[in-house]
Structure 1
Amino acid sequence: MQAKKISIIGLGLIGGSLARALKERLNISSITAVDSNEKSLSQALKEGYINEGFTELNDSVYNSDIIFICTPIRITLEYITQLHGKVKPGCILTDTASTKGEIIDYINSLDNPPCFIGGHPMAGTEKAGFASSFSHLFENAYYIMSPSKNCSEESLESLSEMIKGIGAIPVKLDSKEHDIITATISHVPHVIASALVNLVKFSDSPDRKMQILAAGGFKDITRIASSNPTMWENIILSNGQIVKSTLNKFTETINAFIEYIDNENSNSIYNFFESAKKFRDSIPSNRKGLIEPQNELIVDVVDKPGIIGEIATILGNNGINIKNINVSNSREFEQGCLRITLPDSSSVADAFELLLGKGYKVFKI
């Protein structure tokens, strides 16, 4: 694994985190990066995560054992076209895009297609760029692999071992099955979150009372609406028909609920919420999913001078970094009033036990 030559096209959050993880966890010494942002290339070179950086494809990239394409879907397709017929025999091409069907269909339509394995690491943050990347981004995250028709079992096993090496969990899925799953658990939720935000925006009064009061739970359930619009335009257009079909199913669910209201059907309304609660509570919380979890705690405290400093000191003295801390002014459906944002799930677990041991009332989101 150490002797393999790796190229990463697109040195943003995902590509940058891959470079860091491959270097730190697998000690891969030959990593070439391609990116239009020379500042990112310069930083990666300076920090030692790559040993070559270019703004365009060249022979160094073509001579790689594995090439990761970490760009938006449309650009990924352009790079596949440029790489086709130029990479060395046995080279594995893979990507990190959020849809797989369109890319795999394109690969399979090519004459003498390359060994291509569609990839989708189910991890990310609201940040972007190499400066925001970190080596443990993929820890305990599912990493989908969708092989094309010209992919050997040996190539699939080789990429799978690399994925395990950076801390992720490889899962083999057919490209069409992948797109149905992601449409339901990621793509449509992003549409719905954005629709809810736009509902408030267009329903609000001139004095913006809704916007002022739209905090707490509303901001939690619509957090993903702050995602990159260009990225989501690419995703929806690439997976449009499946997203449309899933939205139609969602509309059927909403229309059924409207009938419950019209008929004052108390049992159906109760069962609607009870069924959702039971299913949500059964979803495991020890794995990363397509939507980045909220690494936050709520602390129920009395408003008194120094209370924020008191809690910050406890966490700081125990090596727990706080990304953000603020008072929740709208908390009709949440306990406590102090919301603490932490860098990762392990920090949440440590802070929870620590503050609980100090006598505070603490709640995980």
Structure 2
Amino acid sequence: MDNMKVTIIGLGLIGGSLARALKERLGIRDITAVTPNRQDIDAAIKDQVICRGFTQLNDHVYNSDIIFICTPVKYTFEYISCIAGKVKADCIITDVGSTKSDIIDQVNSMASPPCFIGGHPMAGKEKNGYSSGAAHLFENAYYILSPSRSTTPQAMSVLKGIIEGIGAIPVVLDAKEHDRITGGISHVPHIIASALVNLVKDMETPDGKMQMLAAGGFRDITRIASSSPEVWESIVLSNRMEIKRILEHYIEILNRFSGLMEQKNSAGLYHFFEDAKHFRDSIPAGKPGLIAPIYELIVDVVDKPGIIGEIATILGDSGINIKNINVSNSREFEQGCLKITLPDPASVDAAGKLLADKGYRVYK
């Protein structure tokens, strides 16, 4: 693999992380990037993550052994059409988009499609852009692969090897099954989070009390509403039929719940929350998923001068990096008032043990 020629189109969070992972973990030296942002190209060259970068497709791209298209879905269609017929016969083309059916359908409808495998790494961060990328982004994350009619066994084997090499777990799924699953666990939750935020915006009073009191739990459960509007416009339009079906089912659930309230059906309301709690508690914790996790600790502390600095010093002296630390003023359903955001699960475990050993009451 160290002699493989790779092109990455789109040098954002996923593209930048892929470039880093391919270089650091697989020793791939010949990496070309294509992105409209010249600053990202310059930064990646300076970081020695890529060999060269361009703002347009060219012969370096067409001579690649594998091409990763790491752009919003609506641009993926365009790049596949531009690349088809110009790349080598054995060049593998793949993408990282959150929807697969439309793309696979497009490839399958082509008279002479390139060798294409749909891809979707189930990993991400709250922040986008090349500077937010990391070689370890894909560690232990599921990486979905959806074959097209032009996918060969050899190409699938090569791509699986690359995915395993960057630390991810390849899972082969039919494109339609992929879109049904991601529609339920990622796409519709993003819509619901945005709808909740818009609901509060519409209900807001002139003195801004709702926004003030929305800090804490409400802000946490709706954090994915801060995702890129361009990315989500593209995802929703690409998976619109599946999303519509799931939304209709969600509306049925809300209507049933509304009926239980109207009937004052205590047992029904109890079972509604009980069923949700049991299923939610059965979902594995600490594993990467489609929605980027938050790694944080809640610390119960007394409000006194220097307490934040005291805790920051304890963690800093032990080499634990704090991404964010803040006091939660709205903690109706939370224990403790100091919220510490950390970079990874290992940091959460280490910080929790360290603070507990110092006598602090800590909640994960």
TM-score range, shorter chain: over 0.9
1:346 alignment partner in structure 2: 346
> What is the alpha-carbon distance in structure 2 between the residues aligned to residue 43 and residue 235 of structure 1?
28
Q: Distance in 2 between matches of 1:357 and 1:283?
A: 29
Q: Secondary structure at the match of 2:87?
A: coil
- Indicate whether 1:334 and 2:318 are aligned: no
1:88-131: CA deviation from partner (whole Å, max 9, x where unpaired): 01110000011000000000000111110000011111212111
For residue 355 of structure 1, report the CA deviation from its aligned partner.
Answer: 1.3
Equivalents in 1 of 2:193, 2:225: separation in Å? 5
- How big is the shift at 1:286? 3.0
1:249 equivalent in structure 2: 249
Distance 2:188 2:25 in 1: 35
Count of aligned residue pairs for this structure pair = 364
Give the whole-Å Cα distance in 1 for the aligned partners of 2:87 and 2:348: 44
- The code of the aligned residue for 1:83 comes to I
Quick check: 1:147 aligned with 2:147?
yes
* Whole-Å separation in 2 of the counterparts to 1:26 and 1:346: 24
In structure 2, C-alpha distance between the alignment counterparts of 1:89 and 1:355, rounded to whole Å = 58
What secondary structure is seen at the aligned counterpart in 2 of 1:290?
Answer: coil
Match in the other structure for 2:312: 312
Alpha-carbon offset, residue 207 of structure 1? 0.7
Deviation of 1:337 after TM superposition, in Å, equals 0.1
Q: Could you say which residue in structure 1 is the equivalent of 2:192?
A: 192
Q: Root-mean-square deviation (CA), in Å?
A: 0.8
SS in 1 for 2:117: strand
In the TM superposition, what is the alpha-carbon distance from 1:188 to its structure 2 partner?
Answer: 0.4
* CA apart distance, 1:216: 1.1
Q: SS state of the match for residue 193, structure 1?
A: helix
How far is the alpha carbon of 1:353 from its aligned partner?
1.7
Match for residue 299 of structure 1?
A: 299
Aligned to 1:90: 90
Counterpart CA distance in 2 for 1:357 and 1:13 is 37
Q: Tell me the residue number matched to 1:160.
A: 160
Residue 226 (1) aligns with residue 226 (2): yes
Mapping for residues 1-365 of structure 1, pairs under 5 Å: 1-364=1-364
* Identity across the alignment (%): 64
Task: Give distance in 2, aligned partners of 1:267 and 1:361.
Answer: 35
CA distance in 1, matches of 2:169, 2:214: 37
Cα distance between partner residues in 2 of 1:328 and 1:146 = 43
Q: Distance in 2 between matches of 1:362 and 1:48?
A: 41
TM-score by length of 1: 0.98
Once the two structures are overlaid, the 10-residue window that deviates more, 342-351 or 79-88, is 342-351
CA distance in 2, matches of 1:254, 1:285: 27
How much has 1:219 moved relative to structure 2?
A: 0.7
SS of corresponding position for 1:292: coil
Q: Distance in 2 between matches of 1:19 and 1:323?
A: 24
- Equivalents in 1 of 2:347, 2:158: separation in Å? 33
The residue matched to 1:20 in structure 2 has which SS?
A: helix
| Structure 1 stretches of 4+ moved >2 Å | none
Q: Which amino acid aligns with 1:170?
A: P
Per-residue deviation, 1:58: 0.9
1:32 alignment partner, SS class = strand
- The separation in 2 between residues aligned to 1:196 and 1:35, in whole angstroms, is 34
Work out the CA distance in 2 between the residues paired with 1:116 and 1:206.
Answer: 53
Distance 1:326 1:31 in 2: 40
How far apart are residue 312 of structure 1 and its match? 0.4
Consecutive unaligned residues of structure 1, counting only runs of 5 or more, are none
In structure 2, distance between residues paired with 1:302 and 1:26: 49
Q: Deviations over 1:60-110 (max 9, x none)?
A: 111111100000111111000000001101110000011000000000000
SS state at 1:341 partner: strand
* Residues in 2 aligned to 1:349 and 1:99: alpha-carbon distance in whole angstroms: 34
Q: Which amino acid aligns with 1:35?
A: T
Name structure 2 gaps, 5 residues minimum. none
- Structure-2 separation of matches of 1:275 and 1:108: 41
Q: Which amino acid aligns with 2:200?
A: V
1:186-222: per-residue Cα shift (whole Å, max 9, x none)? 0000000001011111011111111110011101110
